[in-house]
Amino acid sequence: MSGIAVLGRIRLSYLVVAVFVAMAVLAPIIAPHDPADSDLFRRLQPPFWMAGGEAGFPLGCDALGRDILSRIIFGTRISILVGVVVVSAATVIGVLAGLAAGYLRGWVDVVVSWMTDVLLGFPYLIFAIGLMAMMGPGLLNMVFALAYKEWVVPCRVVRGETLAARETEYVEAARALGASRRFIMLREVLPNILAPVLAVATIRVAQVIILEASLSFLGLGVQPPTASWGSMIADGRGYILDAWWVSTFPGVAILLLVLAINLAGQVRRRDDHG
């Protein structure tokens, strides 16, 4: 792939992400209708280009006569909020645990590594579903259920990088100068291993957004009437025979956002190894 094409794709993916972030921030201003406003006369109204559709409800309405576009715009808030909050919290915890395990070694490493091995023993969605089955549905519970497992990913990366960094000359020099362990970990090692951590975090936001949508689809995430993309798809599942648009458009939103984030994270690697 030529350099110009790579740059073009990066810019396009950043642009798509920026549009979604703007949608989330400006939702109350740009959404044409209240996402919870129900008008049963507009029940399952098709998109504007189909017979029976109207420009004021461009993507049509759901089974309760709510505007799909407005619900998608407000749903952006949930997806981005969960993605960013879960990955940020997990990154802070994972970085601290990984630094401690990789630098201090000994029992700290044994305990942290055991915890990561155990949590990696669960398929992600099953862990979250199992936990949410007990805690009950809801936004906050979902954030906790996802973050409990998510921290393992940055922790593994940081531990590996720290193990390599602790043998380098700059760390040895700091040790020789009498720097404390905390100083070395946070001021010497951390700044030097931050790049791969941030790269992984970007990709993980995309994965967490899909997980959030999956949990909401199953009815375990955000509860009605709050709009979330996963629950909107679930709402439309019963109407695929005569109202395909109810499920289709929220899915397009998920796909676009996740694809853009993945592309932004991956396209830089102009590797021949795919």
Partner 1 sequence: MSPAALLTRLLHLIPVLLGVTVVVFLMMAATPGDPAEVMLAGQQATPAQVAALRHDMGLDRPPLERFGLFVGHAVRGQFGQSLFHRRPVAQVIAERLPATIELSLAALVFALVVAIPLGVLAAVKRGGWLDRAATFGTLLGVSLPGFWFGILLLIGFAVQWRLLPVSGEIDYDAQPPGVTGFLLVDSVLAGRLDSLLNTLAHLALPAITLGLPMAAILMRVTRSSMLDVLRQDYITFAEAKGLSRGRVLLVHALKNALLPTVTVAALETGALLGGNMVVETVFGWPGLGRLVVESIFVRNYPLVQAAVLLYAVTFVLLNFCADLLYTILNPRVRM
Separation of alpha carbons 183 and 246, rounded Å: 54
Phi, psi of 66 (to 5 degrees): -95, 145
* CA separation for the pair 17, 9 (Å, rounded): 12
Amino acid at 70: S
- Counting residues that bind partner 1 (by CB under 8 A) gives 49
Nearer to partner 1, 115 or 186 (CB): 115
Give Cα separations from 198 to 193, 202, 216 (angstroms).
9, 6, 27
* DSSP at 37: -
Cβ proximity to partner 1: between 165 and 264 the closer is 264
Residue selected from 135, 174, 179, 199 as contacting partner 1 according to rule CB under 8 A: 135
* Residue span binding partner 1 (CB under 8 A) among the ranges 84-92, 166-174, 187-195, 213-221: 213-221
Q: Are 55 and 230 in contact (CB under 8 A)?
A: no
Is 129 an interacting residue with respect to partner 1 (CB under 8 A)?
yes
**Number of alpha carbons in the 13 Å side-chain half-sphere of residue 15:** 6
Site string for partner 1, 96-125 (x = CB under 8 A): ------------------xx-xxx-xxxxx
Sequence-distant (6+) residues with CB within 8 A of 123 are none
Check binding of 134 to partner 1 (CB under 8 A).
Answer: yes
Minimum distance, C-beta of residue 151 to partner 1, in the bound complex (Å) = 14
Q: Where are the beta strands (DSSP E) in the chain?
A: none
Binding mask 31-70 for partner 1 (x = CB under 8 A): ----------------------------------------
| Residues of the shown chain interacting with partner 1 in the complex, contacts defined by CB under 8 A | 114-115, 117-119, 121-127, 129-136, 206, 210, 213-214, 217-220, 230, 233, 236-237, 240-241, 244, 247-248, 250-251, 254-255, 258-259, 262-263, 266, 272-274
